[in-house]
Chain A
């Protein structure tokens, strides 16, 4: 059913019940969010706004997968003296969105989590997210350094490389991460050239 048609159907059924049970009528008159006509934000094309709304309403990760992504994300980018952790920056939700936006990641991600769980169950009799911190780190150490990883861990290395990339992008494109990184642009200004102290530091000048 097209969005328009389903809207029509809902309104009709609401009308039909209205006289019978005011409670049902009240409940039905609240149009569920996923079938509201999509508002098109500035700078978006209609098809993009509709696509985004649909992706946001869909779910990809199971609760267990989401928990695993969250634990791994905070191992990759933990809170430190300067800023918060990956999960505090909303990284798991970003990764969830990307899985739906670019489905080619779904198999490597879902399969990678399974691979990891399988290794952990064999060794610790628990899935990764249920392992102790020390056990989690033991496994991560075996897949986080491509050059010294054992050949039988190569799939884990690929998975971890992908996770490291997603977590880094998710974190450093968030408000917390941008502040941490020190990006200070995206605002009207005048470009006067490289600051004098920086020129001096690099032994460069504008007169050459």
Chain B
């Protein structure tokens, strides 16, 4: 016994190529949608993880001091401002502070880098506290320094690659002409640490004669601490600037919001295209079957039957397209990740696009809803066909 659903299904299969093209269109839209939803979901958690990876919630620098290697490079290695090392003890005195680690950034002009020379930046760290804060750093080779004053260096992976350094190799500190030993090469972390050359802070202070000075202090507070309040406290210290990671996160989120709007618009366009595609396909199929539908009506089909019939077709198309698109987005998740990374101003390290079954179902639901909406007009059009018109006419018209 034929059912409306069966008739709809068979009709989709009748115009195979057209149905496939429509399904591909819907699948693409679903892919965009799933990826977008996955992005919304993945981005936040990924960002949080990155911030946690920084190891400290608050960074203290001297007022006006660039605190990142990138800034330093752009400024040509100038503009470093120092704080006395004693600040570490001041900060540590607060019981809310769990751990403090002093850092010294130092930039050196190396005349043999490029045609006109270039800047090499070093980060002096405390071999005891720093590794404890940055537990996520892993070694490709070797380990951290032995002694606070050792003439030793640990290279971030990219720095090591550039300098072709392995554990046991020598390295010449530019300007100072001091030879040091490479004792460790870090694995890639996807962070700025990859490009950093780490030295014991004492060594760096001594070699470049900046004794007793630090450029920044990383602070880790107890879990229960109200960070915002604590930051206020820190501002009472003279001549410091407080960079809180919460703030960093906020800024990044704001930056990304713009990108998100862009991605959303793309998704919206994709959805509109799918909608028009569905509407077009179903409308075409209504027009082609003008007479068939008229005959069905003369055979006792109610308006609602015809409406349902055409609607089923739409739903089937969108359902198949939605499922194909979800599977596709799951398979292409890595590629999508790369694509989104290329668009975003800042991408966290771990997966940006997190797709799971609930999300896929959600997307299929949305796409089907859109399909159902786009199917209304053609279905209504078909339902209104009067049997006599269809039988009399040879071709339907809009």
Q: Do A and B come from one complex?
A: no
A residues lining the B interface (CB < 8 Å): none
